[in-house]
């Protein structure tokens, strides 16, 4: 059972906009930054969004993050077939005194 | 080009030990905080341990505290994870990762890792 809760799956068609949610508590998302990772099959995770809504260099502006209270979401616009991957949210947890991850959302591009 | 290359994984019996290493290149290793993150087969990501650039701040997940030891050698651009008293549930791919640059030290910012190695598989089985 992950500390942060994500839907196990999501889907969309090419060109569509999809969002992936991440729910936490006042110990983590409620008072700390949220980060998002993408993991393509058989590869290492890649940082997509840091500090709620910052995109590291090289990440397209199709990816955006937002936070509201103890929840956050990742939005992907102009969905592409190569976006088919697992997506993870992560945040610092003040109670556990360490990073916590969501269980991951498998995005399927139909 | 930033590169992180893990090594040292393998098959070990429960109760055994293993030492993972991560060779870093392409950046000024001594100025970056580093993470170990693992992923059990078919499962999600789990943070394992963090070490600050000068080794003055070290943090462990409760699941490995007292059994794993993180260390680094800035002169050799290398990161290590000594794993003792291994359990079946420690079976996973272990990734070393560089923490996204911070303007000021803040442990809550160690969650973000911008470069990852390819991972090394640790299998604990009798």
Q: For B24-69, how does the pLDDT look when each residue is reduced to its tens digit (9 = 90+)?
A: 999 999 999 999 999 999 999 999 999 999 999 999 999 999 999 9
Q: What is the mean pLDDT of residues A59-80?
A: 97
Separation of alpha carbons A78 and A87, rounded Å: 17
pLDDT cut 70: percent of chain B above it: 100
Nearest residue in chain B measured CA to CA from A47: B114
Q: Is the pLDDT of residue A86 over 90?
A: yes
Any B CB within 8 A of A65 CB: no
* Cβ contacts of B58 within 8 Å, gap of 6 or more: B49, B50, B51, B52, B70
How far away is chain A from the Cα of B60, in angstroms, using its nearest Cα? Answer: 8
Q: What is the pLDDT, as a whole number, of residue B6?
A: 98
Per-residue confidence at A1, pLDDT binned at 50, 70, 90? confident
Q: What is the pLDDT, as a whole number, of residue B2?
A: 97
User: Are A44 and B116 inside 8 Å of each other by CB?
Assistant: yes
Question: Both tokens of residue A41?
Answer: 């099959």
User: Are A100 and B47 inside 8 Å of each other by CB?
Assistant: yes
Task: Render pLDDT for A28-39 as a digit per residue (tens, 0 to 9).
Answer: 999 999 999 999
The chain-wide mean pLDDT, for chain B, equals 97
Instruction: Tell me the backbone φ, ψ of residue B102, rounded to 5 degrees.
Output: -115, 140
Residues of chain B found within 8 Å of residue A96, distances taken between Cβ atoms: 62
Query: What ranges make up the beta strands (E) of B1-126?
Result: 3-7, 10-12, 18-25, 34-39, 45-51, 58-60, 68-73, 78-83, 92-99, 113-116, 120-124
Q: What is the pLDDT, as a whole number, of residue B85?
A: 98
A19 closest CA partner among A82, A81, A69, A62? A62
């Amino acid at each position: 059972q992950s500390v942060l809760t994500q839907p196990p799956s999501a889907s969309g068609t090419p060109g569509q906009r999809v969002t992936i949610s991440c729910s936490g508590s006042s110990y983590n998302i409620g008072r700390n930054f949220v980060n998002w990772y993408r993991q393509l099959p058989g590869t290492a995770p890649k940082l997509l969004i840091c500090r709620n809504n910052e995109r590291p260099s090289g990440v397209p502006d199709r990816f955006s993050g937002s936070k509201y209270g103890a929840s956050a979401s990742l939005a992907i616009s102009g969905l592409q077939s190569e976006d088919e991957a697992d997506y993870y949210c992560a945040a610092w947890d003040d109670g556990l005194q360490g990073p916590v991850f969501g269980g991951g959302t498998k995005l399927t591009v139909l | 080009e930033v590169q992180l290359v893990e090594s040292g994984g393998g098959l070990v019996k429960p109760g055994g030990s293993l030492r993972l290493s991560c060779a870093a290149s392409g950046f000024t290793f001594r100025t970056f905080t580093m993470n170990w993150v693992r992923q059990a087969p078919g499962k999600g990501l789990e943070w394992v341990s963090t070490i600050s650039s000068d080794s003055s701040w070290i943090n462990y997940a409760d699941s490995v505290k007292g059994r794993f030891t993180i260390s680094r050698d800035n002169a050799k651009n290398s990161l290590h994870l000594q794993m003792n008293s291994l359990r079946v549930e420690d079976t996973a791919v272990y990734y070393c990762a560089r923490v996204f640059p911070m303007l000021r030290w803040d442990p809550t910012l160690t969650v973000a890792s911008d470069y990852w190695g390819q991972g090394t598989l640790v299998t604990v089985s009798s």
